[in-house]
Amino acid sequence: MRNNQNHEKKLRILVTGATGFIGSRLTRRLIALGKYHIRCMTRNPDEIYQKIFGLSKNIIEIVRVDATKYEEVLKALEDVDVVFYLIHSMEGTSLKWKEFSYKDRLIAENFAKAASEKRVKRIIYLGGLINEINNLSEHMRSRKEVGEILKKSTAKVTVFRAAIILGAGGGSFQMLKYLVERLPIMVCPKWVQTRSQPIAVNDVVNYLVTCLEVSETQGKDFDIGGPEIVTYFELMKRYASTFNKSLRILVMPFLTPRLSSYWIDLVTPVQASLARPLIDSLKHEATVKDEQIRKLIQFDLSTIEQAINTSKKESEIKSKILKINEKSSISLNNKILIISLLLLAAIGSTYYFLDTRQDVFRPYWIVLSCLWYFGIFFSIYFVRYGARLGSLIAGILGWITITFWLLDNIRLVYDTSIITSSPPDLIMTIRNFLGGVISILVILSSHNVFHKIRLYKI
């Protein structure tokens, strides 16, 4: 009888964004405590079991909800005491990136109204840390607005404001990780010099979970950050040092958020539609001004190095899982593209021992050849890392090469060449056609890889 009473008295918690960067970790921590009845809200229930490893279907309650539909939100909040609000709508295409603020506003209004109707006791919201009030980026303005909308409900709203969150899977951290790991030299915009107070993802989860038991946190706003204040520039340097890697960074003031987001989309797994608002928000200084939360919830904060090392271990585990589950078509297409590029380089080298024309040894042809070879190996480098930049460069090289070699074979029609002073002989003509076939293979496989990586990201 006592067990039934205890079960009935369990606090009923709804975790939104349960498959996300913070939500999946929070859900695992709540499950480990065994003190709460947990309901997870998602559009894709199957992802819950993929993101929260070792989870059996009888541990938590899962509801499929489209948060833009009020009636579905209302059902999700039935008998709920506390809501962890972790919904952010930065998704879609780079051309529609600004639409997330409208969607965020609509979802927050649905939750505020439904929470009042269902008499939810508390809402705990994780927003963004900013020190400015005016000239906010669209991203930070939306984060701030969501908190204000939620406070219109009858529930007691606790708002945690965090700057860069260090952990595997976080957007800002993913940008840092892949830029540092993949690029020996980085050209960065001036926002890398903005000061921030990054915090480890596990410390964020600590605050979220612990505040459930600390009544003084109800209905208040708190800034949370790690023990150090650094610039994004310094953060990249610190990350590189954990790999014993030398990092060269050039700051270019003319790089706009749009250009930066496209570059990040090509080099890292972070899409331009997500990178753009994140980059926009990085221009704001984000440091903790009020440390009252440290008096209410006390624990040792992780250092930047500790957070980085933890995230590296998590990334290694996830990489192994992805390699097991990775669609073979992606891996196969990468291999085909790399082999095609190597074949292209091999065929190109025959100019220097099969071609009898002396033009190919002129200085400008040597320079063009070096640039061409550099492009091939530059492309292979990024294809190996799974960056779309590699397949983009490969496709461009493929088109340039097939055009060049087919123009060289114009002798079949006009008995001349517009590439050199004399037409190619029979051997070089055959070589040009063979190279054209390989170029077509490069073009097709690069197109395949470019789009498959995008679909796999989504």
Does residue 324 carry a pLDDT above 50? no
Sketch out the chain's domains with CATH numbers.
2-325 (3.40.50.720), 328-457 (no CATH)
Instruction: Judge residue 53's burial from the number of C-beta atoms within 10 Å of its C-beta, 0-12 exposed, 13-18 middle, 19 or more buried.
Output: exposed
> What is the tens place of the pLDDT at every residue in 127-165?
888 776 666 667 778 888 899 999 999 999 999 999 889
Segment 322-339 shows an average pLDDT of 69
- Residue 430, pLDDT score: 83
Buried b (16+ CB within 10 A) or exposed e, 70-83: bebbbebbeebbbb
Segment 240-256 shows an average pLDDT of 73
Does residue 87 carry a pLDDT above 90? no
- Residue 418, pLDDT score: 63
- Please give the structure tokens belonging to residue 233: 């520039």
Does residue 348 carry a pLDDT above 50? yes
CA dist list (Å): 120 to 46, 111, 116, 146? 27, 10, 6, 17
Q: Are 250 and 257 in contact (CB under 8 A)?
A: no
- Residue 159, pLDDT score: 95
Does residue 413 carry a pLDDT above 70? no
Name the residue type at position 206.
N
Q: Are 35 and 106 in contact (CB under 8 A)?
A: no
Give the residue among 203, 167, 205 at the shortest CA–CA distance from 311.
167
Residue 303 is given by DSSP the state P
Does residue 444 carry a pLDDT above 50? yes
Q: Are 128 and 90 in contact (CB under 8 A)?
A: no
- Please give the structure tokens belonging to residue 84: 């962890």
| Helix-, strand-, coil-residue percentages of the chain, each rounded to 5 | 60, 10, 30
Q: Are 39 and 80 in contact (CB under 8 A)?
A: yes
> What is the tens place of the pLDDT at every residue in 359-390?
767 788 788 888 999 999 989 988 887 778 88
- Residue 4, pLDDT score: 41
Tell me how far apart the alpha carbons of residues 456 and 330 are, in angstroms, rounded to a whole number.
8
Tell me how far apart the alpha carbons of residues 305 and 316 are, in angstroms, rounded to a whole number.
17
Buried b (16+ CB within 10 A) or exposed e, 112-145: bbbbeebebebbbbbbbbbeeeeebbbbbbbbbb
CA dist list (Å): 348 to 57, 68, 344, 363, 402? 57, 56, 6, 17, 11
> What is the tens place of the pLDDT at every residue in 186-223?
777 777 788 889 999 999 999 999 999 999 999 999 99
Give the residue among 344, 345, 358, 354 at the shortest CA–CA distance from 427.
354
- The structure's pTM equals 0.76
Residue 327 sits at φ, ψ, to 5 deg, of -65, 130
Within 13 Å of residue 376, how many CA atoms lie on the same side as its CB?
A: 23
What's the mean per-residue pLDDT of the chain? 81
- Please give the structure tokens belonging to residue 1: 């009888």
- Residue 244, pLDDT score: 78
Segment 339-360 shows an average pLDDT of 82
H helix intervals, 52-200:
70-76, 100-117, 138-150, 171-182
Tell me how far apart the alpha carbons of residues 107 and 91 are, in angstroms, rounded to a whole number.
14
Tell me how far apart the alpha carbons of residues 195 and 141 are, in angstroms, rounded to a whole number.
19
- Residue 6, pLDDT score: 44
- C-alpha dihedral (317, 169, 231, 186), degrees to nearest 10: 80
What lies within 8 Å, CB to CB, of 330 at 6+ separation is: 449, 452, 453, 456
